[in-house]
Amino acid sequence: MNGLHLKSETEESSRWIPGYDFDLWTSSEESSDGEEGTYHENSQTEENAGHGRTIPRDADTSHLSDKALKRLDRFEKIKRWKKERRKDRQEMRRQEKAVKKDLVEIQFASDKPTKRELKCQILAKLEALQKSDSVPKICIDMGLANLMNSKEVDRLAGQIRRVYGSNRQAARPLHLTFSNLETTGAIYKACQNKNDGFAHYRVNMTNSSHLEIFPPEKIIYLTPDSDSVLMSLEDDRVYVLGGLVDESPNKNHTLRLAEHQGLATARLPIDEYLQQANTGSFNKILSINQIFDILLTFYETKDWAVALLAGIPKRKGFIAR
């Protein structure tokens, strides 16, 4: 049963007032469990019109003296004041939290670059890289259109788009050149038709041969048919990929071409780092975007097993040694 122990001025013992669930002497400042003035909604109060006091509606106060009533009234005022103070504090805390959240959001929004700013940053990074001498150079030989039909040329254009996209997104991009690229040729036209903004790629595009723009002794032509194995990427070297979509084995196109041009050749170290699983095509001839992704990953991780496993499609059936 709810009620209130109230000390009368003449008695040492407290009195019980129905309708209260507070002991005036223990809860006027702090309740016994340390909670500040616990307020119970069920102890209904109203302004006592006659005395301007606030006492519970269901409290029987007929037996109380004026002094006890005043004390009771003070108790109710304190209780009400504490409730209001608690509400104020809660509201203040809520507002502080909201302001802090807004500040964090404003700061975050101002730190985060817009899409446009991000694009500008990437392009500026690629432009700076294209002028750098301390990054390995990858050159795609775009002069092999006569070895492909128009479907293959279109597929090559798609692979070129992926190469450029990978380089843009790479943590450590590579210097990129498209050599033997005639603006009137089938490959240029296919790239322009299929790849948005191709003419503005941050890439060194030239109709000159890689033999003319790079020192031949620095060039290594990558070909799946080479006897030499590529083990590292050197900053002062140029690695040429044949711009070919032609996966039929043993054609030796790029090997013969490189040998004719007197260039060093190398294949990827697939046999050295991977072995064949139970099933797969086990085809070691990769597309130029796959080769490029492997080179990017190796340049970043310096780990051939990681780079090869990440870049070679699962269906080829290679697993780590």
Ligand X SMILES: C[S@@+](CC[C@H](N)C(=O)[O-])C[C@H]1O[C@@H](n2cnc3c(N)ncnc32)[C@H](O)[C@@H]1O
Residues that bind ligand X (CB under 6 A): 222-224, 241-242, 244, 246-247, 251-254, 267-268, 270, 284-288, 291
Q: Which residue is nearest to ligand X (CB)?
A: 242
Q: Which is nearer to ligand X, 73 or 280 (CB)?
A: 280
The least CB distance from residue 144 to ligand X, in Å, is 8
Q: Which is nearer to ligand X, 6 or 288 (CB)?
A: 288
Catalytic residue among 246, 271, 293, 303: 246
For the bound state, the minimum distance from the C-beta of residue 134 to ligand X, rounded and expressed in Å, comes to 24
Q: How far is the CB of 290 from ligand X (least distance, A)?
A: 8
By beta-carbon proximity to ligand X, the closer residue of 43 and 226 is 226
Residue (6 or 139) nearer to ligand X, CB: 139
Residue 276 Cβ vs ligand X, minimum distance, rounded to whole Å:
15
**HEC assignment per residue over the chain:** CCEEEEECCCCCCEEEEECCEEEHHHHCCECCCCCECCCCCCCCEEEECCCCEEEECCCCCCCCCHHHHHHHHHHHHHHHHHHHHHHHHHHHHHHHHHHHHHHHHHHHHHHCCCHHHHHHHHHHHHHHHHCCCCCCEEEEECCCHHHCCHHHHHHHHHHHHHHHHHHHHCCCCCEEEEECCCCCCHHHHHHHHHCCCHHHCCCEECCCCHHHHCCHHHEEEECCCCCCECCCCCCCCEEEEECCCCCCCCCCHHHHHHHHCCCEEEECCHHHHEEECCCCCCCCCCCHHHHHHHHHHHHHHCCHHHHHHHHCCHHHCEEEC
Q: Please report how close the Cβ of residue 132 comes to ligand X at its closest, in angstroms.
A: 23
Query: With respect to ligand X, which residue has the nearer C-beta, 19 or 224?
Result: 224
Does residue 293 carry a catalytic annotation?
A: no
Catalytic residue ranges: 246
